[in-house]
Amino acid sequence: MAYAVEIQNIIKKFPSVTAVNDVTFNVDEGEIFGLLGPNGAGKTTLIRILTCIMKPTSGQAKIREFDVVRYPARVRRNIGVVSQAMTSDLDLTAWENMNIYAKYFDLPKKQRKENISYLLKIVELEDRAKDLVATYSGGMRRRLEIARGLVHRPYILFLDEPTIGLDPQSRRVIWDLLQKIRKETNLTIFITTHYMDEADVLCDRIAIIDYGKIVAMDSPSNLKRSIGGFDIIEVSLSNFTPSVMERLKAMKFIKEVAEKEGALRISVEDAAKSMPVLIEEFKKMGVSILYLAIHEQSLEDVFIHYTGKTIREAEAQKVNMFLGAGVPRQLPGSRI
């Protein structure tokens, strides 16, 4: 099967720093692939190489089998791009923004009209189509830019930090929107983010990038499993007795049980699978549940495992760049 994106040994060097350091991976058709890493890890540089905005120092990248350096014109016709910076024109209406963008791709008038109407409906902006973008909120503007990126029906959509700067509600709307678009069109989506929850919710597979290198790549659940450790189920029972503890310890799927201030911390491999069994067992024991909480392994744990630090610590080391996505003016020894 052909890959949507093929990346082989891509290196991008700036005068005093290597932004992307020998990166190799593929993205399947129809999947949502996430590039997760702190600001300055090399995500934007890589996405700029894949979208023909920047040339790699060495290595090869292909979109739909077209080499990004040798066939940039063909690549550009196959991609939709939503940049990290808001790039819609404030002085134009949503319709005008999309219509002009569609003209860049030589779309005939009838098709432009159909696509724009369809997409504005999908992103729920059809009522505001004739309003100037200057009157939009950040979330609305981002939705418009996603619609604009799809106006020519691309083969793959690249999104560079699509929810950066948005409030939690707007972020959720964008996630739902991307999932809806994928469901309806089977579009391949390549997304960069530094938000763990975003990568976890949206992506079929994730590559963790740090200092320009891919340090881990798999589905979110496999990544979490790969680092070992267990999910924790915290539970408080109405009539806890030592015999309950003994029976729990005897269960094979339970790795460890500890009691602290009247609450039990039960370690299991997979909390989602273990929960129904555990509830059933408590019923059989004749105890009732007063409180129950699950702490699953998170991507934050995965990130710490592979990089030795939290993503916030990594971000604290970033170079100060315009919107975090500029061509870096490197300081010696600094990160991208």
Partner 1 sequence: MRALAVAERDLKRFSRNPIVIFASILMPLVYLVIMGNSFQGELKHLSLAVVDQDNGPYARRVIELLQAMRDGPRTLDIVKLSDQKKAVDDVKNGFYKGALIIPPRFSEDVIKDVNPQIGLFLDNTDSISAAGISSAVSRSMGYLKSEYVSVRATIAKTQFRAVELYKKIDYDASLVPGIIVMAIFMGTTFTGAFSLVMDKFLGIHESYLSTPLTKMDIVIGIIISGVFITTLMAFIVMMGGMFITGIKLAGGLTSFILLIFTIVLTALGLLSMIFMVLGRADHPRIVGVTIGFLNVIFYFPSGAVYPIESLPGWLKAFAAVNPEAYAVHALKALILKGSGFVAVQNDLIFLAAFTGIMLFFATITFKRTM
Our finding on whether 176 is near partner 1 (CB under 8 A) is no
32-36 and 17-27 beta bridge pairing: unpaired
Binding flag, residue 11, partner 1 (CB under 8 A): no
CB of 154 to partner 1, least distance (A): 10
Decide if 142 contacts 94 (C-beta within 8 A). Answer: no
The span from the CA of 198 to the CA of 175, in Å, is: 8
103-132 residues in contact with partner 1 (CB under 8 A) are 104-106
**Of 11-19, 71-79, 168-176, 296-304, which segment contacts partner 1 by CB under 8 A?**
71-79
Binding mask 15-54 for partner 1 (x = CB under 8 A): ---------------------------------x--xxxx
Among 19, 164, 214, 325, binds partner 1 (CB under 8 A): 325
- Minimum Å distance from CB 102 to partner 1? 10
191, 179 contact by CB (below 8 A) = no
153 belongs to the binding site for partner 1 (CB under 8 A): no
Closest CA to 299 of 206, 211, 169, 214: 206
Q: Say if CB 82 and CB 174 are below 8 A apart.
A: no
When asked if residue 323 is in the footprint of partner 1 (CB under 8 A), the reply is yes
Nearer to partner 1, 101 or 303 (CB): 101
CB 127 within 8 A of CB 155: no
Distance between CA atoms of residues 176 and 283, nearest Å = 37
Between 18 and 84, name the residue whose CB sits nearer to partner 1. Answer: 84
Q: How many residues bind partner 1 (CB under 8 A)?
A: 29
In angstroms, the Cα distances linking 263 to 235, 245, 283 are 6, 11, 17
CB atoms within 10 A of CB 279: 12
Interface residues toward partner 1, by CB under 8 A: 48, 51-55, 73, 76-77, 79, 81, 83-89, 101, 104-106, 145, 148, 158, 322-323, 325, 327
